[in-house]
Amino acid sequence: MDEPVLYCTCPVVVTRTKTDKMWVKKETHWWAPLKFGGNLRHCEPVSYCEMRVKKETHWWALMKLISHTKIIRVFIYSAAVFLFGDFGVAGAGDANSHASSPQWTSEIIELASTLAIQDAGRVKPLDSYARFKLLKLNGRRVCYTPDGDRRTSLEWLLDCLFYPELVQLYPIFLVPDDVVLDAIGVTHADKKKRDRYSYADLYTGREGLFRLANEYIKIDAKDRSSTQAQIVHLAENITEFEWLTHYLDFATATFEIVENSSLSSSLGGVLEISFSRAVESADLIRENYNALESAGTGPDLNRQSITKLLREMDRVGSGAAALALFAPAKTGTGSDWLTPADVMNAAFSGQQPPKEHIWLLSLFENLYGARDNTEDFTENLIEFHETARGLADARGEYAKIPLEFIFYKGKFFYYSLILYILSFIFIAISWLRPANRLLYRLSIIPLAGGTLYLIAGIVFRCVVRGRPPVSTLYESVLFITAVVVLVSMFIEFINRQGIALSIATIIGTLGLFLANKYEVKEGTDTMTSLVAVLDSNFWLSTHVTTVTIGYAAGILAGAIAHIYILAKVIGLKGDDAKFYSSVARMVYGVICFGLLFSVVGTILGGIWANDSWGRFWGWDPKENGALMIILWELAILHARMGGYIRDLGTCNAAVFGACIVAFSWWGVNLLGIGLHSYGFTSGIFTALMVFYGFELIILVLGCSIWLRQKIMRTVPITT
């Protein structure tokens, strides 16, 4: 199959098979080779099918040619942009006509939040969609109006849909470096180097932005400079924002029908119809046109009126492709959900839409008309929610929507992080006053509470996804953090020296900071659908979970070893051999624990690989990383058993082992090669290098301690 191409801002990707059959694939990321720019004059022919389209001279012939391919949405929408105006900013008068941002009631927020939408391969609450969409554009889950009013992600999404003229003034586009603005020709004299801009602020540089993005998209993502990557990212964000703000264009549209025409007579003499009525009457409209076509009387007013109706419908309807809120009206799973644009295309392709879909279209029209009337808006939203939920319930796809809404509303990981920080504060103060056991005991309470919140959040995710706890890199961070904290608490329960308790608070805090940073950096749903090779709950719950526990043990052993080395450097506890021996035994025990899970997990992974790929071992980078962990931990245990290393050597080796774990966990993903390349994530190279640099310092300190001890043993004592 040829690579996908895009020749307008509409995020619809056209692909072509070897037989030149065309179709449109929705929800495909536009960062495949594409042509940016919303104006038809900027577009170039990019496919065989488009060339055929341009040769057509009769509008209905064009519709018959491409009605089954849905490419009409792209071509006509692009033409409409050129003929009727750019995908631009609403007039300043419109935006300023509202004294303040709209106020959505709690009932409206709850109803809208729990609407089901299919996105990124799964059905989720509209609230989840809004959270990650705003996070991607804004770098955080809230935004502010020009007046400083705080808007949640769901409020922002409602503003996009029902008050697009207002939301264009919200500073929601995060620009990390103002060099991007210089490149696209946007002034920023009163802004910071890293700041947020509104769509209206960036509109003057829109053409330049898409022109540059067209050039930089041809460069491999790994080879782009920071500025080039930011330009491509901003262009994507602008495109997605435009789709949202034009989603309900159809809800305000009405279409004129020529008086005394055959179509008017067929529709009961009406002279104007709404979008929903036109979709409902699609068969009637097609029959009227076919009758005129068969008569062969040449162009007449009736035919021209129907052609105009179809053209205007596609102009407004094609923009309603961002949100798939309509579940197919049939039982079972597996079918894609529909957008209003899909419903329109199906209707004019001879597939009569279910009455529920027509009703939802009319409710959208009612909702937009009642946007300034809270009572009417709420009544229509309740009806919309009940109808949409009924369709999803019939397919068994709504049951987990309320649960996911509760999960995100509960902020489990946020509160867990707060409690870990509080526990760390207590334990840090207790270091200054070691005789005060009250602070030690107080630190246990928030630590236990934070761990309960963390585990509860992981369990919620497992139930919502129907998956084991680890299936993505993001989930591995959460799971490893939980395992490290639990094992540390168990160690602390045994020796009660405060060392493992300190490690638990530090790793708990750092782990959740890392998880949050990863989520913000990616800006995408962390409950994504799995690639085919990972779509196995059995192997996810055995191999992946077991190997991840091995990772956690390697990280914990290295963390405890840090305590040993740093304590030696600053002279903590003096020459208390019992203290240092106790810390070294912790490191040794955790390494043994980690080796067990690493070996078992790697063997299970080989069995899975044999089942999926037909070979037990293929020297894949990820496989090599797992093997490196096993070999290094085996080397540590054998060296200790053989007397080659003692307590200090074991701790130094554990620190280096943590580096190997980090390489296997994150480093090999940066290679972007191998059968495990589905775990690739960009942008972590710097963080990984900082980690390695810190660990190198610890190793140098550890080696200096060893060297000092060796010198002291060899220097003769004189009297």
Domain co-membership, 369 together with 429:
no
Evaluate whether residue 498 is within a structural domain: yes
Instruction: Give the H/E segment covering residue 13.
Output: strand 13-16
Domain co-membership, 611 together with 625:
yes
pLDDT at position 334 is: 54
- pLDDT interval class at 159 (50, 70, 90): very high
Domain co-membership, 354 together with 473:
no
Indicate if the pLDDT at residue 109 is higher than 50.
yes
Domain co-membership, 114 together with 193:
yes
Residue 410: CB atoms within 10 A of its CB come to: 14
Three-class secondary structure of residue 220 per DSSP: coil
pLDDT at position 666 is: 87
- Distance, in Å, from the CA atom of 339 to the CA atom of 12, rounded to the nearest integer, reads 13
Residue 524: both structure tokens together: 């995408």
Residue 552: both structure tokens together: 């956690």
Q: Roughly what angle, to the nearest 10 degrees, separates helices 621-641 and 647-665?
A: 170
Evaluate whether residue 528 is within a structural domain: no
Cβ partners under 8 Å of residue 704, min gap 6: none
Of 401, 432, 450, the one marking the end of a domain is 401
Domain co-membership, 227 together with 352:
no
User: Can you tell me the mean pLDDT for 233-251?
Assistant: 96
Please name every residue paired with 124 in a beta bridge, in sequence order, or none if there are none.
Answer: 117
Domain co-membership, 491 together with 375:
no
- Distance, in Å, from the CA atom of 172 to the CA atom of 96, rounded to the nearest integer, reads 18
Domain co-membership, 192 together with 285:
no
Of the candidates 276, 383, 390, which has an alpha carbon nearest to the alpha carbon of residue 329? 390
Give just the sign of the alpha carbon dihedral 351, 9, 33, 672: negative
Q: Number of folded domains in the chain? A: 4
Of 380, 401, 422, the one marking the end of a domain is 401
Three-state SS letters, 121-133: CEEEEHHHHHHHH
pLDDT at position 682 is: 58
Instruction: Give the H/E segment covering residue 24.
Output: strand 22-25
- pLDDT interval class at 536 (50, 70, 90): low
Domain co-membership, 567 together with 668:
yes
Domain assignment of residue 418, given as a range: 411-523
Domain co-membership, 570 together with 488:
no
Q: What is the pLDDT of residues 684-693, one digit of tens each?
A: 778 889 999 9
pLDDT at position 331 is: 58
Domain co-membership, 234 together with 330:
no
Domain co-membership, 129 together with 267:
no
User: Can you tell me the mean pLDDT for 443-467?
Assistant: 95
DSSP 528: P
- The DSSP result for 659-717, as a single string, is HHHHHHHTGGGGG--STTGGG--SS-HHHHHHHHHHHHHHHHHHHHHHHHHHHHHHSPP
Chain-centroid distance of CA 647 in Å reads: 45
Phi first, then psi: give them for residue 474, nearest 5 degrees.
Answer: -60, -45
Evaluate whether residue 110 is within a structural domain: yes
Higher pLDDT, 138 or 329: 138
Evaluate whether residue 505 is within a structural domain: yes
Evaluate whether residue 2 is within a structural domain: no
pLDDT at position 435 is: 75
Q: What is the pLDDT of residues 603-654, one digit of tens each?
A: 998 888 888 778 888 888 888 999 999 999 999 999 999 999 999 999 999 9
Q: What is the pLDDT of residues 24-81, one digit of tens each?
A: 333 333 223 233 333 322 333 233 233 223 333 333 333 333 333 333 343 334 433 3
- Distance, in Å, from the CA atom of 578 to the CA atom of 567, rounded to the nearest integer, reads 13
Mean pLDDT value across the chain? 82
pLDDT at position 18 is: 30
- Of 128-142, 300-314, 496-510, 539-553, minimum mean pLDDT range: 300-314
Domain co-membership, 597 together with 518:
no
Of 339, 373, 401, the one marking the end of a domain is 401
Evaluate whether residue 630 is within a structural domain: yes
Answer whether 503's CB lies under 8 Å from 559's CB.
yes
Residue 347: CB atoms within 10 A of its CB come to: 24
Residue 77: both structure tokens together: 């929408």
- The DSSP result for 351-402, as a single string, is -PPPHHHHHHHHHHHHHHHTTT-HHHHHHHHHHHHHHHHHHHHHTT-STTHH
Q: Say if residue 718 is exposed, middle or buried (CB neighbours under 10 Å; 0-12, 13-18, 19+).
A: exposed
pLDDT at position 258 is: 79
Please name every residue paired with 151 in a beta bridge, in sequence order, or none if there are none.
Answer: 143
Evaluate whether residue 539 is within a structural domain: no
pTM score over 0.75: yes
Evaluate whether residue 534 is within a structural domain: no
- Distance, in Å, from the CA atom of 688 to the CA atom of 670, rounded to the nearest integer, reads 10
